[in-house]
């Protein structure tokens, strides 16, 4: 797999240096400098008091990393500009997966940090994840590429029960295929790949 070229936009040089050590020298990620070609831009808004800055959006795929304490306005601005958003609680592996997904053209958002939830309003049913907890588990495993039999084994369900959950998921998401279900769930922030 080719190295992912990531441009880091951070409030301080020290923050940028932290990413050099986070991503290490395993060849999976190459940190590029301004003016170089990047596959994806990582905008770090985790400093306390981070505010939206003009010009923070770069051309091309962008992933915003925000703190869990970020203001609803900050999250709303990031998502309104079409940016993908994850919180600083994600693991290194999850951050790498999110960066790769965004570079490939997917939108990544953690359901817990969408602006609607931060404001305390009731999200629309489609965004709220009208899915039951079990359906969300099935959908996550589906997103990981598992077949019905493997999902049934992991969740200790029958194959028939997995099919029942999949039919319900398809209906609730308004889709007709497994691929469509995963794609829609990722776009809506119901699962993170």
Instruction: Report the CATH number that the domain containing residue 150 is assigned in CATH.
Output: 1.10.10.10
Residues 113 and 130 placed together within one structural domain of the fold: no
Against a cut of 0.85, is the pTM above it?
A: no
Residues 6+ apart with CB under 8 A from 129: 111, 136, 188, 190
Q: Is a pLDDT exceeding 80 seen at residue 122? A: no
Residue-wise DSSP of 8-61: EE-SSHHHHHHHHHHHTTSSSEEEE-TTS--SEEEEEE-STT----TT---SS-
For the chain, the C-alpha Rg in angstroms (whole number) is 18
Can you give the CATH number for the domain in which 90 is found?
3.40.50.2300
| End position of a domain, from candidates 118, 133, 157 | 118
- DSSP letter, residue 69: T
Q: What is the pLDDT of residue 193?
A: 74
Q: Average pLDDT for residues 171-184, to the nearest whole number?
A: 88
Q: What is the pLDDT of residue 13?
A: 60
pLDDT tens digits, one per residue of 21-70: 777 667 788 888 776 788 888 888 877 655 555 445 556 788 888 877 77
Q: Does any domain span residue 38?
A: yes
Residues 54 and 131 placed together within one structural domain of the fold: no
């Amino acid at each position: 797999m080719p190295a992912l070229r990531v441009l880091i936009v951070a409030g301080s040089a020290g923050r940028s240096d932290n990413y050099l050590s986070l991503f290490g020298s395993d060849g999976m990620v190459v940190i590029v400098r301004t003016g170089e070609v990047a596959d994806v831009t990582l905008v770090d808004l985790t400093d306390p008091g981070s505010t939206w800055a003009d010009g923070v959006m770069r051309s091309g795929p962008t992933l915003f990393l925000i703190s869990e304490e970020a203001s609803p306005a900050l999250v709303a601005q990031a998502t309104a500009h079409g940016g993908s958003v994850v919180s600083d609680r994600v693991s290194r592996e999850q951050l790498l997966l999110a960066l790769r997904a965004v570079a490939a053209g997917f939108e990544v958002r953690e359901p817990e940090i969408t602006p609607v939830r931060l404001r305390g309003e009731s999200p629309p049913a489609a965004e709220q994840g009208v899915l039951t907890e079990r359906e969300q588990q099935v959908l996550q495993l589906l997103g990981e590429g598992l077949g019905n039999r493997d999902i049934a084994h992991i969740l200790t369900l029958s194959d028939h029960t997995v099919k029942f959950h999949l039919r319900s998921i398809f209906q609730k998401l308004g889709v007709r295929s497994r691929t469509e279900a995963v794609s829609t769930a990722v776009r809506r922030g119901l699962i993170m790949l």
